[in-house]
Structure 1
Amino acid sequence: MKLAYFGTPAMAVPSLTALVAAGHEVAIVVTRVDKRRGRGGELSPSPVKQAALALGLPVSHDVDDVLGKGIELGVVVAFGQLIKPHVLAEVPMVNSHFSLLPRWRGAAPVERAVLAGDAETGVCLMQLEEGLDTGGVYDTVRVPIGAAMTADELRRELVAAGCEQLVRCLAGPLPTPTPQVGEPLYAAKITPDDLRIRWAQGAQQIDRVIRLGGAWTTFREKRVKVLSATLDSSARVAPCPVAGLTLQSVQPEGKGPMPFADFARGARPAAAEWFV
């Protein structure tokens, strides 16, 4: 099948390589423009662009470049941009979306599923239309969320499931899409404020925030990243003000990662001196 592929981050690379390996003709890859990174401001291509060039595939930063090429199907995986209506009118498109639609439409479905304590999520291969993740669903793969699974671990599971799903579904004619049923929930982009630990929320919810990656708190007016923790029946250990949650590793501002026990030993918190 002659395809156009739309994707940007590293999580969109495996699906591209899987489609090429399955024998599809990827006529063009569309991704975001190169970004300037680092102190030198050097241009850095997206992971999908790097992969496409390594595979010898044509790359564009303009969605309109897929027009007039006889594309049979556009495949969208974590592209990060809306497809313009006039492009959708010419090129039929599918989107590999990492949730059980209509739950968690939008930008951060993996993180929102973890934060909500969902027992499972999945990958929906859906028909792309002008609405945000509103199209009919061709195929659904369910993926359980382990009690201690991080967002990164879950993302890897979903990427693998999505690759298999794309190759399987595109091996023949797509079925008639099934309309989404149920009340939609929207997965807003995760902000730094979402990642701030609110100790009053209790051990279980704090653990979910930590499993997103990037969780932080403050101690003596300096930021401390909380890298990992486990739920258990332990008493609280200063400066962690919550029982039932053992912090394993942290990263104080301006320092490298370290065991929480080493941080606490060095900090020597006074009585009733806690993370805030």
Structure 2
Amino acid sequence: MIDPPADIRRLVYLGTPHESVPFLEALATAGFDVALAVTRPDKRRGRRAEPTPSPVKAAAQELGIPVFSDVDDVLDADADLGVVVAFGQIIKPHVLNRLAMVNVHFSLLPRWRGAAPVERAILAGDQTTGVCLMEVAEGLDTGRVYRRVEMPIAPDITAAALRAELVDIAVPMLVDALNEGLGVPEPQQGEPAYAAKITRDELRLDWGQSAESLHRQVRVGGAWTTWRGKTLKVWAAHPVEGSQPPGELDGVLAGTGQGLLKLVEVQAEGKSRQAAEDWLRGARPTLGDRLGS
């Protein structure tokens, strides 16, 4: 692992999903010479579908930036620095020993190292989060931190909306840091917490839990329960005061272990998303019907 030079002008960029695109576009707009981009290979969305490029590949091609899928290609780019944002691949030591790299990470490290920091912060009920610009090291998000910006987590914000807000504050942070010089990074301080990828089982709504806890699962996206033996996704809801048996419905109000969860938008198995009131008119709950059964 090596340190970046004081003057950074020529970059390579490594990223994949939509949230990576604004960083690439901002670097190009700011006048940095982006020698190439590395992203995942094209993927098919169906058996007969044409391979689809990643959002970063599509954006790079629009900017006239060469695109590769092998990380080792950065070694021939004669770059000053590699910039990594939601790349999704391990960068091996032989690359880090030849080219300094920084990573934009969507948490206040060392809290929530790993793949799903935004989702884990919401599930844990964190009040604040932020972004870090850190050096890429061999360990999982263990590198020293060049810059960090903190922000509150609004009580009703979804993971998607929170990630968008973090991108909005992280893009200028990255550009300013590269223009002004990275400076001396600081070691991470505090007890690490790890943000493993969210599993489907973690998003199953247990109606014996509190309404606040269930609300956090819904905010992550993809929360689900069952209704008459079939999957019912809950896309929007919010907690309200009240009490009734867990899973029991009174209109759009669902009983929980503590408080009520007001259903706002749901999706029955094999159907499109719809307002909870519209779903109820078709579902026609009867005595004894409960969510989770």
Q: Same fold (TM over 0.5)?
A: yes
The residue number in structure 2 matching 1:181 is 189
Matched letter for residue 255 of structure 2: P
Confirm or deny that 1:43 pairs with 2:73. Answer: no
The residue number in structure 2 matching 1:273 is 289
Q: How far 1:39 moved relative to its partner?
A: 4.2
The residue number in structure 1 matching 2:255 is 241
Farther off after superposition, 29-38 or 262-271: 262-271
The Cα offsets for residues 164-217 of structure 1, whole Å up to 9 and x where unpaired, read as: 110010002211110001110000001111111111111000000000111111
Mapped contact 1:143–1:157 kept (Cα < 8 A): no
Matches within 5 A, 1:94-243: 94-236=102-244, 238=249, 240-242=254-256, 243=259
The residue number in structure 2 matching 1:86 is 94
User: Aligned pair in 2 of structure 1 residues 69, 266: CA closer, same or farther (>3 Å)?
Assistant: closer
SS at match of 1:194: helix
Distance 2:180 2:96 in 1: 21
The Cα offsets for residues 102-154 of structure 1, whole Å up to 9 and x where unpaired, read as: 00000000000011111110000001111010000000011211000000110
State TM-score, norm by structure 2.
0.91
Distance 1:195 1:3 in 2: 39
SS at match of 2:255: coil
Identity score, percent: 55
Matches within 5 A, 1:64-83: 64-83=72-91
Matched letter for residue 156 of structure 1: A
The residue number in structure 1 matching 2:277 is 261
Matched letter for residue 218 of structure 2: I
SS at match of 2:188: coil
SS at match of 2:201: coil
The residue number in structure 1 matching 2:62 is 54
Matched letter for residue 273 of structure 2: P
Q: How far 1:259 moved relative to its partner?
A: 1.8
Distance 2:270 2:19 in 1: 29
Matched letter for residue 252 of structure 1: A
The count of residues paired between Structure 1 and Structure 2 equals 276
The Cα offsets for residues 47-75 of structure 1, whole Å up to 9 and x where unpaired, read as: 00000000000100010101132210000
Which sections of structure 2, spanning at least 5 residues, go unmatched? Answer: 1-8
Mapped contact 2:10–2:80 kept (Cα < 8 A): yes
Q: How far 1:273 moved relative to its partner?
A: 1.6
Distance 1:267 1:32 in 2: 42
Which sections of structure 1, spanning at least 5 residues, go unmatched? Answer: none
Q: How far 1:251 moved relative to its partner?
A: 0.7
Distance 2:291 2:39 in 1: 41
Mapped contact 1:196–1:217 kept (Cα < 8 A): yes
State TM-score, norm by structure 1.
0.97
Mapped contact 1:72–1:92 kept (Cα < 8 A): yes
Distance 1:68 1:50 in 2: 22
Mapped contact 2:243–2:255 kept (Cα < 8 A): no
Runs of 4+ in 1 over 3 A off after TM superposition: 234-237
Distance 2:242 2:281 in 1: 18
RMSD: 1.3
Q: How far 1:81 moved relative to its partner?
A: 0.6
